[in-house]
Amino acid sequence: MLSSLEELANTIVSCNKCPRLVYYRSYVAEKRPRRFLKEEYWAKPIPGFGDPNARLLVVGLAPAAHGGNRTGRMFTGDGSAETLMRALYSAGYASQPYSIHKDDGLRLEDAYLTAVVRCVPPKNMPSKEEIENCSTYLKNELFLLKNVRVIVALGMVAFKACIKNLSELGVKMPRPLPEFSHGAIYKLEGELFSRAAPVLIASYHPSRQNTQTGRLTQGMLNRVFKRARRLASV
């Protein structure tokens, strides 16, 4: 395990483990749409972002092609970021209800954002091998973020990855294993790095596919984070 979030961030940014993702993150930058032609894309893996003392950890799927892959910050510059940040702001975790670019003044208090995969995957579908390659980074964040009490997993992939990684780190899982359902809350047992195991909350991902179809509304996501706030404060 690396000993600091800064060291971990540097390691993530220099990662080239997955040839398909290395190619695709650069391809997206080269073929960027007209509205972003004058922007320089980050086009590298993206480390987590937020409060090192956070009691809330938010785990997404992967950077968006023209969101995080462009801006270089987790959940920044796309539709998912808009919905998520409004929810975090409503629950008192974010200093402002938007996340546009790295220098927009956004500060997170008591919350930390990360993802299962750190590079943009084609069609938002990372392979099992790519998820496994990135799992060491999520495990290292769980080690370094020593105050985390609640994890919100955004989407099925993130939910399953959280269960897998927590299990591999020794957290006891109920049988049968927790199932994904929006708003479901699982109070896990055992310890995580000699600390009490966190509470795991499942949520639909704030993708446009979910928000534009009404599967996930702003109110639904706001309620998830207000519940997370209450549980993290216990």
What is the model's pTM?
Answer: 0.97
pLDDT in tens, 118-136: 999 999 999 999 999 999 9
| Integer CA distances (angstroms), 107 to 33, 104, 149, 225, in order | 29, 9, 20, 17
- Closest to 223 (Cα-Cα) out of 180, 191, 193, 184: 184
> Are the beta carbons of 205 and 176 closer than 8 angstroms?
no
Share of the chain above pLDDT 70, in %: 100
Whether the bond between 19 and the residue before it is cis, its omega within 30 degrees of 0, is no
Is 90 exceeded by the pLDDT of residue 210?
Answer: yes
Location of structure tokens 């109920």 = 174
CATH number of 5-232: 3.40.470.10
Q: Region 5-17: what's the mean pLDDT? A: 98
Q: Looking at the DSSP assignment, which residues form a beta bridge with residue 53?
A: none
Share of the chain above pLDDT 90, in %: 98
Per residue, what are the HEC states of the chain?
A: CCCCHHHHHHHHHCCCCCHHHHHHHHHHHHCCCHHHCCCCCCCCCCCCEECCCCCEEEEECCCCCCCHHHHCCCCCCCHHHHHHHHHHHHCCCECCCCCCCCCCCCCECCEEEEECCCCCCHHHCCCHHHHHHHHHHHHHHHHHCCCCCEEEEECHHHHHHHHHHHHHCCCECCCCCCCCCCCCEEECECEECCEECCEEEEECCCCHHHHCCCCCCHHHHHHHHHHHHHHHCC
Location of structure tokens 């995580």 = 192
Location of structure tokens 């391809």 = 27
pLDDT computed for residue 192 by the predictor: 97
pLDDT in tens, 41-74: 999 999 999 999 999 999 999 999 999 999 999 9
